[in-house]
Amino acid sequence: MNANNLLPDYDICILGSGPAGIIVALEYARLNPQKSVLLVEYGSPQQSGENNLDKSIHVKNQQNHHIPSECTNKGLGGTSATWGGRCVMYDDIDFIDRPILNGNCTWDETIFEEVKVHVPVAAKYFECGKPEFTFPGSSNLNHKPIADGFKQGIVTDAVLERYSMPTRFGKRYSADIEAQKNLTVLQGFEARDFAEPDENNNISFLIIREVETQKLKKIIAGRFILAAGAQESTRILLRNSQLFKQLGAPPFALGKYYQGHISGKIASVRFSGDPKKTDYSFSRDTDGSYTRRRFQFDTAFLKENNLLNTAIWLDNPLYFDPKHKSGAMSFMYMAMITPVLGKKLAPPAIAHSITKGKVNKVPAHLGNIVRGLPNSLLKPASIFYKRYCLKRKLPGIFLYSPQNTYALHFHAEQIPFAGNYMKLGSDGESLIINYSPTDADVDSVIKLHEALDKWLKDCNCGELSYWFSKEDLPGAIKKMSKDGLHQSGTTRIADSPDMGVVDKNLKVWGTNNIYVCSSSVFPTSGQANPTFILGAFAARLAQHLTSLPTNLNIPKKENFKISFDSIL
């Protein structure tokens, strides 16, 4: 297998133990009990506080991108330690080339069809209930219109988001990992430098570095899988340009076309029918899992109108503005801005989306609380119990509006734009992130609100009222939108290294045995939060690797759980 005649210590070595790394590791290890798997994780229980990976990231535009420590977590389970657990499917439109994408939809529907096969496996890992994301598929859920009078058409209310526990992968799967005899975990090690490819483009070893001591170790494996999250998987490839020796240079797309989601609120909807018939909150499936409705747009409509895929859901008014007059909302806002308590209630990025980082009109909020007693306290107490004390947690808080008026929250695809990128700093180590919404992203959000408004009026169902003047909308959207949590695009799938970084089986172009399992491989971001479908990609990768011939001479080990020292 390799030029140095090194015997591999492991059949596969997975770098990073977030949801992607854990699913590939467990699936592959179970499908191949005779093969050995190593899972290398940067974080460890001993580490605390800010880590050096985050400290060496420079975010150029902090208005639209969270600071690094808010975007990812290190340690077994990765960023599932703070994720919200929203599980959403990609849509057909995400795999269809449209002029607005400027030729950058570098995957196609055949991949989507292949990945769908693995959705049931992903749903099990994420514990989000049945693998069904549209009505009428979910037997227990009654498909009444989202609001009185709503009709299906260019706008649909038949798409569901589902919710994970939210499953914290480290805690949830550590016993399964421990029980899997052919799976070994190393925590507290950073994947650093790969060997040069040999004449067959095989890479025989990887140098890892102990985070605590900086000591270097060599790991010899048959295949390596980068599952270090989007930004770190991208950084590892950028740092290891020797991997692309056969290509002459790293692929142009590496680190480029960075996408997240444009999101925020620019309008409210007032439904004209019976307020009690508005499906504004969660439903529960037979197994207790939570689901929720959203507005989405028909594939043909998006294609014909050259628009970006977008979800719009019913939301609360802005918490920080006491004009909502809700004692419960004011109480929750006050809790969220209370220094120590606020940090315990939600991860910083989520807290920011609620408070917008503002301490605003405290006396008016106190007035709302007093006027709304006892509900101002009873409602938050019941929410607190459901959200923090139960095993399956209430995923969010949506309050009933007797006026049948709801804020609208948009969550929209971005165009793959080469000017949004991750690249190495001049020291060859640090990562520079440049990310902003484009005019095309913003324009599509506005047009889709107009389309929703027209559709609701045509159905006699309701209408939108905007929070900004028409001229101010683009500026307002650019100002409010902030991501960095849903990273994708920077190691995208394509049919050739001229257009992408990995092939359709996630193998890095120019190499024979290195793979990327991260949302960075997604060429388009769609409306969907990326982690659920990433789980399906991880299960597909495990099966694909299983189907490959073993061209390695792996020594048979009696007990795969060898001590780490024995491989140094």
Ligand X SMILES: Cc1cc2nc3c(=O)[nH]c(=O)nc-3n(C[C@H](O)[C@H](O)[C@H](O)COP(=O)(O)OP(=O)(O)OC[C@H]3O[C@@H](n4cnc5c(N)ncnc54)[C@H](O)[C@@H]3O)c2cc1C
Residues making contact with ligand X (CB under 6 A): 15-21, 40-43, 53, 71-72, 74-75, 78-80, 82-86, 190-191, 227-229, 232, 236, 347, 349-350, 485-486, 518-519, 529-532, 534
> Strands (DSSP E) along 129-261, which ranges?
155-163, 183-187, 189-194, 205-210, 216-226
Tell how far CA 410 is from the center of its chain: 16
Question: Quick check: 539 and 532 in contact, CB under 8 A?
Answer: no
DSSP secondary structure code for residue 65 in this structure: B
Helix axes 362-371, 327-337, angle to 10 degrees: 140
| 268 versus 420: smaller Cβ distance to ligand X | 420
Least distance from ligand X to the Cβ atom of residue 512, Å? 21
Q: How far is CA 263 from CA 89, 332, 382, 480, 482, in A?
A: 17, 22, 29, 8, 7
Least distance from ligand X to the Cβ atom of residue 155, Å? 23
| 138 versus 187: smaller Cβ distance to ligand X | 187
Decide: residue 523, CB within 10 A, 0-12 exposed, 13-18 middle, 19+ buried: buried
Question: Quick check: 40 and 189 in contact, CB under 8 A?
Answer: yes
Least distance from ligand X to the Cβ atom of residue 205, Å? 15
Tell how far CA 258 is from the center of its chain: 13
Residue 413 CA neighbour count, 13 Å, CB half:
29
**Triad 148, 266, 150: Cα angle to 5°:** 15
Least distance from ligand X to the Cβ atom of residue 66, Å? 8
- Which of 161, 138, 158, 132 has the alpha carbon at shortest distance from 146? 158
| 15 versus 477: smaller Cβ distance to ligand X | 15
| 40 versus 119: smaller Cβ distance to ligand X | 40
> Could you write out the DSSP letters of every residue in 313-364?
EEEPPPTT-GGG--HHHHHHHHHHHSHHHHHHHS-HHHHHHHHTT----HHH
| 72 versus 156: smaller Cβ distance to ligand X | 72
Using only C-alpha atoms, the chain has a radius of gyration, in whole angstroms, of 24
Least distance from ligand X to the Cβ atom of residue 40, Å? 5
Least distance from ligand X to the Cβ atom of residue 369, Å? 27
| 126 versus 319: smaller Cβ distance to ligand X | 126
**Triad 439, 445, 448: Cα angle to 5°:** 135
Least distance from ligand X to the Cβ atom of residue 20, Å? 3
d(CA 351, CA 337): 9
Least distance from ligand X to the Cβ atom of residue 41, Å? 5
Least distance from ligand X to the Cβ atom of residue 17, Å? 5
Question: Quick check: 177 and 39 in contact, CB under 8 A?
Answer: yes
| 16 versus 462: smaller Cβ distance to ligand X | 16
For 277, the token pair is: 């018939």
| 17 versus 444: smaller Cβ distance to ligand X | 17
Least distance from ligand X to the Cβ atom of residue 424, Å? 14
H or E, element range at 449: helix 439-458
The number of beta carbons lying within 10 Å of the beta carbon of residue 62 is 12
**Triad 369, 372, 373: Cα angle to 5°:** 85
Length of the chain: 568
Least distance from ligand X to the Cβ atom of residue 57, Å? 11
| 166 versus 416: smaller Cβ distance to ligand X | 166
Q: Please state the φ and ψ torsions of residue 398, each to the nearest 5 degrees.
A: -130, 125
d(CA 494, CA 253): 10
| 93 versus 128: smaller Cβ distance to ligand X | 128
Least distance from ligand X to the Cβ atom of residue 506, Å? 12
Least distance from ligand X to the Cβ atom of residue 503, Å? 19
> Could you write out the DSSP letters of every residue in 212-231?
TT--EEEEEEEEEEE-SHHH
Least distance from ligand X to the Cβ atom of residue 372, Å? 29
DSSP secondary structure code for residue 483 in this structure: B
| 462 versus 530: smaller Cβ distance to ligand X | 530
d(CA 280, CA 317): 13
| 21 versus 131: smaller Cβ distance to ligand X | 21
Q: Using the structure block, give the residue that is written with the tokens 């734009």.
A: 417
| 8 versus 85: smaller Cβ distance to ligand X | 85
| 86 versus 478: smaller Cβ distance to ligand X | 86
